[in-house]
Amino acid sequence: MLFPRSRRAARSLPGDARNLSAPAMSALLLASAWHHFRNPRFYHQVVPSFLCREDAPAPGETTKAAHDAGAPRSANRPLAVLTREEWIAVSGLLELAGAVGILLPPTRKAAAAALTAMFTAFLAGHVDALRRAYGPRGTPLQRRIHTLRLPLQAPLIAWAWSLRKPGGTRAGGVRP
């Protein structure tokens, strides 16, 4: 074990304290879902244009500028089934469903697996946003934000995956 004392410390915690991971993930997801609807523009940059039904230029770019720059038309994007705003709303709803599902023991394993898949799928948007931030139209602020935002997906993916285990089992199958 990488941190041998952590096993001892976990044993000394009351059972409820060890089981706070699912409620903590749920609270994070509820806050994020709420933010999707309160401030959808915050998420515009992480929705890849290839998923957007209309000619959806990167934020700060006009449709004409995107077309002139060679941005593909919606017809050339088979994955473009929703608008950027619809993708943001759907991801907010998925986070809301995950927040509820992760709290309910009968649905926790399925919700955790679905959240793992969702966070993994979100990598495409974060990589695309980072690529655009370092492109000719990217700003230093966008570069900083997306450089920090992308690596945050790894712990979220691992955390969601670890919640597939019953409350008393930690990631890796180690009993506390």
pLDDT at residue 92 in the model: 96
Residues 94-152 pLDDT 10s? 999 999 999 999 999 999 999 999 999 999 999 999 999 999 999 999 999 999 988 99
Amino acid at 174: V
Interatomic CA distance for residues 105 and 102, integer angstroms: 7
pLDDT at residue 60 in the model: 53
Q: Is the pLDDT of residue 80 over 60?
A: yes
Give the DSSP per-residue string, 48-79: -GGGBSS--PPTT--HHHHHHTTPPPGGG-TT
What number is the average pLDDT over the span 78-89? 89
pTM over 0.75: no
What whole-number percentage of the chain has pLDDT above 70? Answer: 72
Interatomic CA distance for residues 107 and 102, integer angstroms: 7
Residues 28-72 pLDDT 10s? 999 999 999 999 998 998 998 888 887 545 555 555 544 444 454
